[in-house]
Chains A and B, each alone.
Chain A
Amino acid sequence: MANEVCFRNLDLDRPWLLDQYQRRGGYEMITRILKDQVAPSQIIDEVKKSGLRGRGGAGFPTGLKWSFINRDLPGAKYIVCNSDEGEPGTFKDRDILRYNPHALIEGMVIAGYAVGANAGFNYIRGEFWEPYERFEAALEEARKAGFLGKDILGSGFDFALYSHLGAGAYICGEETALLESIEGKKGQPRYKPPFPAQFGLYGRPTIINNTESLASVPEILRNGGEWFRDLGVENSGGSKLFSISGNVSRPGNYEIPMGTPFAELLEMAGGVRGGRELKAVIPGGSSAPVIPGDQMLGLNMDYDSIAQAGSMLGSGAVIVMDDTNCMVKVLERMSYFYYEESCGQCTPCREGTGWMYRVVHRIEQGEGRQEDLELLDDVAAKIQGRTICALGDAAAMPVAGMLKHFRDEFQYHIDHKKCMVG
């Protein structure tokens, strides 16, 4: 039941080429839609039906998002794909760009048709030079074949698509910072509302979706929304790419149906490396609160299951830690990341990430004070929900999660000025 959607061509030789993509029915959907002049609302309904939720991290229903755009509004509208893939632990979009770029292109053209947008941008993480080149090549193929550009397949529908290479800032994965960045400005999130569907790229209505969300669209339409929904479970339609990393034997991307037990995924990845004990798992990218290993073994990989355990499925990046990992050190490393990557715009995040890092750092260094744990609790609690974008939350949640599940390790560091793990 694996590799049904985004990875479905993985078995082909050089699946990124246009003719390979077409061999399995690629571009048939857009061809049919344009030929039959399928009603845009019908497409959006199908996507809604599929239960596809945003694969970028927040899990917002994709069809619903598309319906926020007023299709009849005159003037420019845009489709933007978020291939910034900055969340630590996540590396699935890179493989879509590498191995299935045409699915993304087709998905974007369909999205453009559905919301009445005639131009799109794919914002690609700055370090993804090789995937960027491959995507560019695919764009060129698609343009030559007439799937992009003016009057696509004689339908009268225009859609131009460009890629835009980032420059190495995590914050540019946040959708409004990303828009600023495309506009040539410093990547800083915008205050919302207004949301991109009203005021997006260059102030025009814009749909922003993650690479995986958009690349799933052609398969959803080909097989029908229900088919996709039924791949997964209630509230979590479809199959999804999980990037599993850390102390496992075979780290990598696995496309599996939503709701698959974590234990199965772990097994696919070869189990904990060296047969060691599973200590903890971060189930959805570094921003997701940590879950203790034994609890995790009882969970399924879908939105509700993980949320009920107090964490989130996020981007589907599963970071596995065994008993050699010091949780203080893990948190120190993650805090440093957010401290480094905060855009610096709003006070709680700019100053708070620095505070949190400095305090965790001094605990790690054996210089912690008893009041530090309350301080961390306090600051983490007061950053959440008080910032312009979700990076503040992303920085605070791991802190809260670590202190909840592994407080004793932190206490040990403070009391003994050394590590429990050794």
Chain B
Amino acid sequence: MPGSPKAKLETVAYHLNGSAINARPGETILESAARHGVEIPHLCHKPGLRPDGNCRACLVEIEGERVLAIACCRRPTPGMAVRSDSERARRSQRLVLELLRSDVSGTPQDSANELGQWCQRLAIAKPRFPEGPQPPADLSHPAIAVRLDACIQCTRCLRACREIQVNDVIGYAHRGAASRIVFDLDALLRTSSCVGCGECVQACPTSALAPAGASRFAAPEKAVDSLCPYCGVGCQLRLQVKDNRILRVEGRAGPANQGRLCIKGRFGFDYVQHRERLTRPLVRRDGVAKTPNPDFTADLRRVFREATWEEAMQRAAAGFRDISERHGPHSLAGFGSAKGSNEEAYLFQKLIRTGFHSNNVDHCTRLCHASSVAALMQMIGSGAVSNPVADVRKAEVILVIGSNTTENHPVAASFMKNAAHAGKTLIVMDPRRTALARHADYFLQFRPDTDVAMLNGMMQTLIEEDLTNDEFIASRTTGFAALKAHLAAFPAERVAPICGISARTLRQVARVYAGSRGSMIFWGMGISQHVHGTDNARCLINLALLTGQIGRPGSGLHPLRGQNNVQGASDAGLIPMVFPDYQRVDEPEARRRFESLWGAPLDARPGLTVVEIMHAIGDADATDRIRGMYIMGENPAMSDPNLPHARHALSRLDHLVVQDIFPTETVFYADVVLPASAFPEKTGSFTNTDRRVQLGRQALAPPGEARADLEILVDMARHLGLDWQYAHPRAVFEEMRRAMPSMAGITWERLEREGSVTYPCRREGDPGEEVLFGEVFPTADGKGHFAAAPFSRAAELPDAEFPWILITGRRLEHWHTGAMTRRSRVLDAIQPAPTVDLHPTDLDRLAAGTGDPLRIRSRRGEVVAYARADPGMQPGQVHLPFCYREAAANLLTIDALDPDGKIPEFKFCAVRIEPA
């Protein structure tokens, strides 16, 4: 932009301290001065925050104006003469600094303190005035220390909290000298509604708000630009490191996060230092038998003994070879991880396919969005999102369904909240009233399991009211007639009593969605994790195709991907029926390509999926009974449905190799345990929910003898007789480019330089496509295919014996099975014990109060968790997060599968509840 003739026309030429300078369009005096190396003191101004003009440190003199102006808010006009260094301006700036300095004279004014820095630069001596009384410190919160004696009332924290993250916790209470930053109605931070995102900490210039603990004063040795290891939003961050420890984490201005982070990304890194880290290879002690229900709290040394890497690798490989020789390649399987890098995922599936000679390779995508991907592939030929989250800025209507976005994709949710506050229409549809609903224009709390009926009802409304996009339907789709015939059975008035939403609302929401210039649909596991998950997703795609709400900026489909690299791991072929880039294993042409690339014969038979593998272990009659497994960075002993069955299966494996950083529950079923590297201990590329390929960079050395996962994989391949040479992730990435046309244009160097490149990017130099399907769909005929979804019910409905509905889910502070977050001191301190959410009237019905233990039983198992009243629940339904080993929600869930996506029904089963 700068330098282009147009920009030149709009720049403003003015004089600053006697020199002629240019301000870019819209720039303030402060910003343009900073760009020209002229420093004007400022405290309440921070790039990215709305200027508030309250500190008055940036006063400047403008020729011909009676009063001074503030440079952070004032925009120059052509020819204006501004002085930030005149006697009058300087004296005013100095007075402000002196006033503030005297207000906080009891606190250190060190280099970490912007006030201190400005005072130093302007040589402010000891202030002439005494300090007033100061509020006491609030150290109640595990993550954030509040020491308002250092506060200068700049309200950067308030703007960060209310306007960036829209959490509305921080307020500026009282008046005049008594003015003070408060949380909610002056609560302690720990008891306030604070969600710990730390945006305020990042915004605070004085460390009045700082990370809890000593890190406030330690100076880092180095800063490493990397990524957050948790969810699919893909936040970029900077790790401040000293003595091989992470002192502090700051958000970077990545395209997906714009400097924002959530509590996990900012405060959840201490898990890497947890004392339970696996630091040496382990092998199972002779005579320690595997049982379906081991004591997960047992001393690891009683089950395993330490081994050298060589011994461990030999044992691991020998076990696989042995099974393969005796029972054939189909008796082996591997679970890769959506937590690992693209390169790791790619090598893992390549290892299973060329080393095990089997396609039995899968990962947790099966448990989260397999059904969404199945529907997307079938209907529009591509399983990834059509538009990035950032498109909420361009959309007019944002529909979020089956997603607890504020807890599971907190940073994405912040952009949705921003959009809602900017006047966009936000529609939230969910059986639970989640935090996002507060910001919604329409909130539809429908009955669980009735998505298809509800969505069909909306579509039928569009047909009845002639609100469909007929031109789009005619030119871009097939199968409309069949869908139309199918929908005739779903008038809004008929589905209303089924889903519990009035026909009027259904019709209204359908009109709003269809009528806007751009509507985005976001969905999460509430859609996908059902036996009819694929049908749920089909409805959403139908809706977009019916209205033509796809293929433009601000208009499209976005299944919010769960893990930080579930998109990349899927792309890299960590899926039993496809090679990298979704090229089907049963398609001869694709197979030949990969055989020639990899120089190995490949199996034409699609492999088994996660839950199918678990079944195939237990099934003694099966010809292809699974007997040996390699599990890298997944925890099926917690994450699989119907855990009693899954754990039983794991205990029956002849040979299990687990590669992980912690003794997860799955480790207790292992024969060989390989200590691996945590996220900040390795370098690799990761693909976020928006299809952005980004670089995670190594910041720490792995502890003890733990090794980078990529090295372990290469070593394993060699032990299986493959001749693998990959010196660096870069080498793997180069090979991936050849295997995956959609990423062929992305070079490692560009990733290093730009930090983020969106695929498809087919040729070097392509910018990367953020918005897809503008002209055609990547299907055989280029069209979108409508797919009618029949209304069906969950596998297990409540009955007299098990009258409650169980919905599983997550907590903001914990990640999935808790392997990492329950070992984060900060995160676990905030959510230390298993809790189950019920409607308050249900608690009354059970004669139980908040905090009382409740026993929850299903046909498969039982757990005890503490009651939490949540008026956002519907009566008769309970929500239980699955991160707690001591109350593992998946002991209860049912392993019924969606026929197309093979995803289990985590979101619905019948349970019984009683006080424990």
Contact = CB atoms under 8 A, between A and B. Distances in A.
A385 B67 contact: yes
B68 A344 contact: no
B95 interface: yes
A172 to B, nearest CB: 11
B100 A351 contact: yes
Contacts of A379: 95
Contact of A341 (B67, B68, B100, B175): B175
Contacts of A388: 53-54
Given A354-B132, A358-B129, A346 B55 contact: yes
A342 B175 contact: yes
B238 to A, nearest CB: 30
B55 A350 contact: no
B176 A344 contact: yes
A263 B177 CA distance: 40
Best-surrounded residue of B52, B99, B102, B129 (most CB of chain A within 10 A): B99
Interface string B169-191: 00111111111000000000000
Given A358-B129, A386-B56, A388-B53, A347 B96 contact: yes
B73 interface: yes
Nearest to A171: B175
A2 interface: no
Interface string B99-113: 110110000000000
A145 interface: no
A346 B95 CA distance: 13
Given A351-B100, A355-B99, A355-B129, A387 B56 contact: yes
Contacts of B132: 354
A375 interface: yes
B134 interface: no
The interface residues of chain A, by DSSP majority, are classed as helix
A353 B56 contact: no
B153 interface: yes
Contacts of A386: 56, 59, 67-68, 92
Contacts of B73: 191
B128 interface: yes
A347 B68 contact: no
A343 to B, nearest CB: 6
B55 A358 contact: no
Interface in A24-69: none
B66 interface: yes
A348 interface: yes
A188 B176 CA distance: 11
B52 A347 contact: no
B176 A339 contact: yes
A169 B95 CA distance: 27
A340 interface: yes
Nearest to A352: B99
A345 interface: yes
Interface string B74-112: 000000000000000001100110011011000000000
B424 to A, nearest CB: 17
Best-surrounded residue of A188, A345, A358 (most CB of chain B within 10 A): A345
Best-surrounded residue of B68, B102, B129, B174 (most CB of chain A within 10 A): B129
A333 interface: no
Interface in B149-175: 152-153, 171-175
Interface in A127-176: 169, 171
Given A351-B103, A386-B67, A344 B178 contact: yes
A407 interface: no
B339 to A, nearest CB: 44
Nearest to B95: A382
Contacts of B177: 339, 342, 344, 350-351, 353-354
A14 interface: no
Interface in A176-209: 186, 188, 191
Contacts of A344: 153, 172, 174-179
A344 B57 CA distance: 15
Contact of B57 (A169, A186, A345, A347): A347
Contacts of A355: 99, 129
Nearest to B73: A191
A379 B92 CA distance: 10
B130 interface: yes
Best-surrounded residue of A375, A385, A387 (most CB of chain B within 10 A): A385
B54 A346 contact: yes
Interface in A246-303: none
Nearest to A354: B177
Contacts of A339: 176-177
Nearest to B130: A358
A209 to B, nearest CB: 24
A186 B103 CA distance: 23
Nearest to A359: B129
A171 B132 CA distance: 22
Given A355-B129, A385-B68, A386-B67, A346 B178 contact: no
B83 to A, nearest CB: 15
Contact of B176 (A191, A342, A382): A342
A347 B176 CA distance: 10
A386 B177 CA distance: 18
Given A352-B99, A358-B129, A346 B175 contact: no
Contacts of A350: 153, 176-177, 179
Best-surrounded residue of A191, A351, A353, A378 (most CB of chain B within 10 A): A351
A186 B174 CA distance: 9
A344 B182 CA distance: 14
Contacts of A342: 175-177
Contacts of B53: 191, 346, 388
B175 A347 contact: no
B53 to A, nearest CB: 5
Contacts of A387: 56
A295 B638 CA distance: 89
Nearest to B52: A191
Given A351-B102, A351-B103, A379-B95, A385 B175 contact: no
A347 B129 contact: no
B105 to A, nearest CB: 12
Given A169-B175, A186-B172, A353-B177, A348 B54 contact: no
A342 B68 CA distance: 20
Nearest to A338: B176
Nearest to A378: B95
A388 B56 CA distance: 9
Nearest to B65: A385
A340 B56 contact: no
Contacts of B172: 186, 188, 344-345
A96 to B, nearest CB: 28
B607 to A, nearest CB: 59
Interface in B24-71: 52-57, 59, 66-68
A344 B172 CA distance: 9
Nearest to B68: A386
A186 to B, nearest CB: 7
Contacts of B66: 385
B176 A341 contact: yes
Contacts of B152: 347
21 contacts: A191-B73, A339-B176, A340-B175, A340-B176, A341-B176, A344-B176, A344-B178, A345-B179, A346-B55, A346-B56, A347-B56, A347-B96, A347-B152, A347-B153, A351-B99, A353-B176, A353-B177, A354-B176, A354-B177, A385-B68, A386-B56
Interface of B: 52-57, 59, 66-68, 73, 91-92, 95-96, 99-100, 102-103, 128-130, 132, 152-153, 171-179
Q: Which 8 A-B pairs have the closest CB atoms?
A: A344-B179, A385-B67, A351-B99, A342-B176, A191-B53, A382-B95, A354-B177, A344-B176
Interface of A: 169, 171, 186, 188, 191, 339-348, 350-355, 358, 375, 378-379, 382, 385-388
Given A339-B177, A340-B176, A347-B152, 12 more contacts: A186-B173, A339-B176, A341-B175, A341-B176, A346-B53, A347-B153, A348-B56, A348-B96, A350-B176, A351-B99, A385-B67, A388-B53
